[in-house]
Every structure is written in structure tokens, then in C-alpha cells.
Amino acid sequence: MALELVSQARCFGGEQRTYRHVSRETGTPMRFAAYLPPAAERGPVPLVWFLSGLTCTEENFTAKAGAQRIASALGLGLVAPDTSPRGEGVPDDAEGAYDFGLGAGFYVDATREPFSRHYRMRSYIERELPEALAELPFDMSRQGITGHSMGGHGAITIALRNPGRFRSVSAFAPIASPMNCPWGEKALTGYLGPDRAAWRTYDSCALIEDGARLDGLLVDQGTADSFLESQLKPEWLEEACARAGMPLSLRRQEGYDHSYYFIATFMEDHLRWHAERLAR
Amino acid sequence: MALELVSQARCFGGEQRTYRHVSRETGTPMRFAAYLPPAAERGPVPLVWFLSGLTCTEENFTAKAGAQRIASALGLGLVAPDTSPRGEGVPDDAEGAYDFGLGAGFYVDATREPFSRHYRMRSYIERELPEALAELPFDMSRQGITGHSMGGHGAITIALRNPGRFRSVSAFAPIASPMNCPWGEKALTGYLGPDRAAWRTYDSCALIEDGARLDGLLVDQGTADSFLESQLKPEWLEEACARAGMPLSLRRQEGYDHSYYFIATFMEDHLRWHAERLAR
């Protein structure tokens, strides 16, 4: 499981790197991006994960979110994984749609043919990649997690299923309840089959309903997001948290859309939220 | 010459827009990106131009440089043009190389067939686009200009040829002397023909040698830039400025390469340099 360094560039005094490694979970080579702030030269730094949305690779966040400036100042490491297995032999959406298959792993372990062999993004992110990161100067006792859209769903569900692992959790325009929107219903049916009981472990709202909790959760959602009403539905999350008494800071940001211009605008708030909770 | 709004997104409290218009100079539709900071709601704001490098469109800078955050805080408008004409009938490099033709207009008015019809990026940037910007809330009496690589060359030469137009000029890893590097020699030969006398108006060092001056010039150059020795050669600019007694602040940035990670790192310094000189 050795990491191969694909590229590196100095950035805000630290290093922006891209790594490649062969994943036992997905059975494919996987890439991820890692930012090492200047503080990492002196010892292990806290780590914030960023899980990306539909169609993204590890590069979108890395190139567009402007996160390195803030991570450099706050002494945070960043890791951005890819969003699905890729390569020869990896099955895709039957019609090549953007919302299933390649670039759309939805952070689940597929149980349905032909996807179950390679589409194991849950285990890749929850188990394999943290082990692989042992080579890097990250303090794995101080982890936070965030993400965008499909990756916001990923960040919240992974944190809910792994109590105590993440000291800080946030999301940008997350898919609040995949069980209750077209993107999610298509993906969960395709990867897991029609039995909705099996979907609950991949749905933030269902997990909270079933007893999982976070100490806090910061969510930003643009009011001009074209997916807001059809897919994202933050009111589901709001309701689930209210019922469970789980603290949620949901900020509706006037006029912002679903793009990286929205993410970049609020990245500093999120990384400061994480840094406060990751301080020793 | 009406501007057509192609896209807009809220970004750091302002608006990131992309426009399309039919250019009389290039004879093609051209796109450019414009950032309007929140201050533009109250009246015209100073404008900083960013000219991009080889292979870029108006989008690279806009998505990757992280400039909007700073422009928002400083109350600066930003304009990022495309780097060449594009579309059906626009001739490209005979072998489709990245360093000539599409994405590589070099900010010249071509005089050589078949390029002279469409490749008029000098006149497009110097004359036509400033007129087209009249629709936007920019204070054209307060303009600054910067750029990267081929666009750094563009920024410096355009400022040198238009004394008094730009109050502030800077560049990221500019091609210091196109007459004296393979990229430049190929482009100038292709667009202007073999007579090197005709090239001098497109060469920062030759323009300075021939008497053009700027009040000041800020240049950042990464020491790990893979094009540093073969193409960029900042020592030519250093020597020309020293001989002419023209103030140049050339900063060699240890370990930085030619990428947008380098540009993003030093963007704040540059925009602050511009803002100081663009203040009323």
C-alpha cells in the first residue's frame, strides 16, 4: 500500500501534493490530494478531510476552494480523496449519466452487481485511506471532516457512523437525505438494491433518527442553489436535528449557488470552525 | 458590441460574471470574466486586468487564483480576458502545439497570413475591450494590469506602450523577453514574420531599451519554475530595468513552480500593490 507521489507544488509556504496508491478496497489505483502546511515540518498537524461532490476528482477542491491559504495560517493538513474508483473494468452508469458510477461513488459500499467489486468508497475512506495516511505528518487523533453536496452527505454520514473519530464536522450544501431525493434514490438503488432498510446507514437523517449523534454540525447552503429544492433539502436535516436535540448551525447564504465560488467564499469560516475544535 | 451575460455567481459578497461579445478586432465571439466586488454596488471601482498564460481561457484565473476574496476586501474590479480568438475558421498551430495559435495569442496583432484576420489580441485588449467595459461599474481612470507567463509579458508590454493608462503594473513569472526565448521566437515569427525589428514593440526589454518606462513594476518568479531558464529569463528584465534606471521589484520565490498554486500564494501581495496605487 505504498504511496506514489504524483505531483507536488509549493503553496502558501506548504506543499500541495497528489498521491496515487493501489487500493485493496476498490481494486483500482486511487488518487488523493494532500496539503501539508508549513507547521507540518515541525511535527504532526491536525487533519481536515474534504469529500467532493458529483463529477469531481481530488483536483477540484484542491485547485478551486482556496483552502490552502487558510490551512497554512491555521496549521491544518487537508486530504481530498477522489469520488469513485476509475479505470478499465470499473462499471459506469448504463447511460453514462453524471450522477451514478464514475465520479459518483456516493461514499457507499455497493452490494449489488456489477458494482460491488469496485465501488467500496465507504470502506476506502473509513478504513483504508486513514491507514495509508500514516506515512504523512498528520495527527490522526485530531481529525475533522467536511465536504460538498454528495461529499457533504459523505462527511456527515461517515462522522455519524464513527463516533469519536472526528472532533469537528461541517458541510457545504450537503445532500441532506439521499433516501428522499432523486440523486440519492438512484444511487442507493443502483449500489444497494431496492430494500430501503439497507439505505438507512447512508442517510444522515435516518442515522440521527436511529440514534447517531454529533456534538455539533456547521452547514452552509446557498439560497440560489439550483439543486436546493429538488435534491439537497436541508429542511430534512434541520428537522432530524431538532427532533434529536442535536446542535446544528445551518446558515442559509443569500444569493449563493452550488459552485466552488460559494465554497471558496465560506471555506475560511469552516476551517476556523474545525481549527477551534482541533486545537489541543 | 453588446455584452451577453453567460454566467454569474455570487462570490465573496460580489458577483463573478462571464460575458460574451462579438469582437470586431478578432472577428469572433470573445469571452471574458469580470468580478464586481460589493463596493461596485455603490459606484465605479478601480479595475485590475489579469492576462493569462498559454493554454488558458478566461476561466483559469477566475477559478484558481483566489483573487476574488482580496478584490472583495479591497474594492477592486477584476477582468480576465481569453488568450486568443477561438471558433470555426480561426487558424491554429499547424501541429496543434500548445504554444501557438489557439490559447496562445501572445497579445500581438498578427500581420502574417493566415493569422492576421483573427489574431488581433493587442487591439482587442488595448482598444476594444476597454470600450466594451463601459457597461460595467469600473472607474477606467484607475486601472492596473497584471498577468502570468505569456500574460505577464502581455501586461508589461501593454503598459509600456500605453503610458499613463495603468497606475500599477505587476506580473507573475512573465516571459521577460519573447525575442530571446523559444516560445517567443516561435510566436513572433508565426504572427509577425522573420523581421526582428517588428518584434520590438512586443518585447518588454526592447521597449525599455527603446525608451518606454513604468513608474514601478512588481514581479514574482518561482525558483522551481520549470520554464525559468529556458523561457522566462527574468535576468533580461532585471538588466534592462537597471540600465534604464526603471524601478523593478523582482522577488525570487524559493521553491515555487509555474502553477496557479504559485499565483494564488502571491495574489494578495499583488492586489495590495495595485490597490495602494489605485487609491484616489
Interface pTM, i.e. ipTM = 0.96
Cβ of B6 under 8 Å from any chain A Cβ? no
- pLDDT value at residue A273: 98
Q: Enumerate the domain spans of chain A.
A: 4-279
Cα of B229 vs its chain's centroid, Å: 21
Give the CATH number of domain B4-279. Answer: 3.40.50.1820
- Chain A positions touching B262 (Cβ under 8 A) are 9-11
- Chain A positions touching B17 (Cβ under 8 A) are none
- Nearest beta carbon to residue A10 from set B12, B69, B257: B257
pLDDT in tens, chain B (280 residues): 589 999 999 999 999 999 999 999 999 999 999 999 999 999 999 999 999 999 999 999 999 999 999 999 999 999 999 999 999 999 999 999 999 999 999 999 999 999 999 999 999 999 999 999 999 999 999 999 999 999 999 999 999 999 999 999 999 999 999 999 999 999 999 999 999 999 999 999 999 999 999 999 999 999 999 999 999 999 999 999 999 999 999 999 999 999 999 999 999 999 999 999 999 7
Contact present, A119 and A191 (Cβ < 8 Å): yes
pLDDT over 70 percentage in chain B: 99
Cβ of B256 under 8 Å from any chain A Cβ? yes
β-strand B14-22 against B4-11: which pairing, if any?
Answer: antiparallel
Contact present, B173 and B149 (Cβ < 8 Å): yes
SS3 content of chain A, % helix, strand, coil (to 5): 40, 25, 35
Q: Distance (Å, rounded) from C-alpha A60 to C-alpha A70?
A: 17
Residue B67's region, left for phi above 0, alpha for psi from -120 to 50, else beta, is alpha
Contact present, B65 and B149 (Cβ < 8 Å): no
Mutation choice for B interface testing from A6, A10, A35 by most B CBs within 10 A:
A10
- Chain A positions touching B12 (Cβ under 8 A) are 264-265
> Is B10 in contact with A265 (Cβ distance < 8 A)?
yes
Marked catalytic residue, from B82, B203, B220, B225: B225
- pLDDT value at residue A44: 98
What's the predicted TM-score (pTM) here? 0.97
B258 is catalytic: yes
Furthest-apart CA pair in chain B: how many Å? 51
Contact present, B154 and B125 (Cβ < 8 Å): yes
- Quickly list DSSP for B171-228: EES--S-GGGSHHHHHHHHHHH-S-GGGGGGG-HHHHHHTT---S--EEEEETT-TTI
Q: What is the number of other CB atoms lying within 10 angstroms of the CB of residue B99? A: 18
Cβ of B264 under 8 Å from any chain A Cβ? yes
Question: For B69-110, how does the pLDDT look when each residue is reduced to its tens digit (9 = 90+)?
Answer: 999 999 999 999 999 999 999 999 999 999 999 999 999 999
DSSP character at residue A198: G
Interface of B with A in 206-235 (CB under 8 A): 222, 224
- Chain B positions touching A260 (Cβ under 8 A) are 63
